[in-house]
Chains A and B, each alone.
Chain A
């Protein structure tokens, strides 16, 4: 092998792209050629420096949400009746305000409460979409769990000092939902615990935190971007289970969680 060949091929060597035979040839040449040996050393150093410099700029969060929203369009497209829903809402607002047309203090108060209701609804929507985003993020490689264990007595103390609340961590393996770990996440700018379960190949994220948005009475189920969310509360904490398993199974998960939480005996 001459220097001209080696000059090109030493890059393939650095990149681990040469088969054993060619790698031996290049190495043999480099062993007898100080110039090529220096080249190899330089480019190895350069490659290491580039790797250490972390040149990959992460996609900005707003781009991620923009794309997530754009990809949800096929689902949104079938929601054609939305304008009529909107129209009917506008209609009932009109009727509603019509009744209070004489500017009494009462109408102002009612208007204020309506505004609050609307704002809260927006906030709830924001929370639901935050939950789906957090769930999607968690599915990406290496994001699912900060503490990975099926032992609830390891997961629970892990949250100590990371949150102001002590989330209930329950192993539901016997009920068909395998505890696989926990993670700290953020919903609507607030830290929440995420307890991660597997159902067959599917992931369930159970977010537990202090109440956000409007109080939930009983159980609230919704579907956002194809993911099911079950929202309920336990002992002053809000819980949101989110997964791509079907709503019935997610409901079963919630019920078993609640039953296990309130079951007597050591937990």
Chain B
């Protein structure tokens, strides 16, 4: 007597029962599945980069979701071989678009030549042997220091240290030559070291 309360038959088996399974619906379905299998394993990486680009959890979640939907739409044109940089490049575009939409003053993700030219706001590191003894900082402090880096350096260091991309892959995602990646990483680490030293002084 409770027949009407039975679970709705799933879309696919319903279509199959009706014999109206359209070929393209099937393809779509298959594509979505292949995409999930290929792309979902990188969710943590995509989210990690989004956290550092957007700097807050809610925005990160929205951009990650948009990234996956966009990636699914363009999955047909994906030619490999590496899924992770492909997804990260899409994420970066989504974040870019989001910042453009908000019309932020700080053109966050633009390849900011200025940021590269401006002298660092950090104190220049003194290359003395005692700086070799950086104190072990906890994860939260390091995250905060990385998050405070100017955008081009922040994304380079995150893609290298957290997403574990090669220089070539970072160059591809950021759309800059490999040499630029190398110098950005050098700058990023130098800034990080200075900030680190300062944080050390401030630590109890």
Q: Which residues of A contact B (CB under 8 A)?
A: 7-9, 11-12, 15, 17, 34-36, 38-39, 41-43, 45-47, 49-51, 53-60, 63-64, 66-68, 70-76, 78-79, 81-82, 85, 88-89, 92-93, 114, 117-118, 121, 124-125, 136, 139-141, 222-226, 244, 247
B68 touches A70 (CB 8 A): yes
Binds A, one of B88-96, B98-106, B111-119, B128-136: B128-136
CB-CB under 8 A for A8 and B162, given A56-B44, A67-B43: no
Give CA–CA (A43, B160) in the complex, Å.
14
B48 touches A56 (CB 8 A): yes
Chain A neighbourhood of B47, CB < 8 A: 57-60, 63
The total of chain B residues at the interface (CB under 8 A) is 66
Q: List 13 A-B contacts (CB under 8 A).
A: A11-B182, A11-B186, A11-B189, A15-B185, A34-B129, A38-B132, A45-B132, A46-B193, A59-B44, A71-B32, A71-B35, A71-B69, A79-B11
Chain A neighbourhood of B128, CB < 8 A: 35, 38
A59 touches B43 (CB 8 A): yes
Give CA–CA (A78, B51) in the complex, Å.
34
Q: How far apart are B50's CB and chain A's nearest CB, in angstroms?
A: 9
Interface residue from A74, A85, A139 paired with B32 (Cβ < 8 Å): A74
Q: Answer whether residue B155 sits at the interface, using C-beta atoms and an 8 A cutoff.
A: no
Give CA–CA (A114, B6) in the complex, Å.
11
Chain B positions 23-69 with a Cβ under 8 Å from a chain A Cβ: 25, 28-33, 35-37, 40-41, 43-48, 51, 57, 61, 64-65, 68-69
Give CA–CA (A43, B33) in the complex, Å.
42
- The chain B residue sitting closest to A122, CB to CB, is B7
Chain A neighbourhood of B5, CB < 8 A: 89, 114, 117-118, 121
Known: A74-B31, A82-B8, A139-B37. 8 other contacts (CB 8 A): A46-B193, A59-B46, A60-B47, A63-B64, A92-B4, A117-B2, A140-B41, A247-B13
B65 touches A66 (CB 8 A): yes
Q: How far apart are B17's CB and chain A's nearest CB, in angstroms?
A: 11
Give CA–CA (A33, B8) in the complex, Å.
73
Q: Answer whether residue B139 sits at the interface, using C-beta atoms and an 8 A cutoff.
A: yes
Q: How far apart are A3's CB and chain B's nearest CB, in angstroms?
A: 9
Give CA–CA (A78, B5) in the complex, Å.
21
A70 touches B65 (CB 8 A): yes
Give CA–CA (A222, B13) in the complex, Å.
8
A55 touches B43 (CB 8 A): no
Give CA–CA (A125, B5) in the complex, Å.
13
Give CA–CA (A85, B9) in the complex, Å.
10
Give CA–CA (A223, B13) in the complex, Å.
7
B7 touches A70 (CB 8 A): no
Q: Answer whether residue B10 sits at the interface, using C-beta atoms and an 8 A cutoff.
A: yes
Q: Answer whether residue B183 sits at the interface, using C-beta atoms and an 8 A cutoff.
A: yes
Q: How far apart are A127's CB and chain B's nearest CB, in angstroms?
A: 11
CB-CB under 8 A for A70 and B182, given A82-B8, A121-B5: no
A12 touches B182 (CB 8 A): yes
Give CA–CA (A136, B38) in the complex, Å.
11
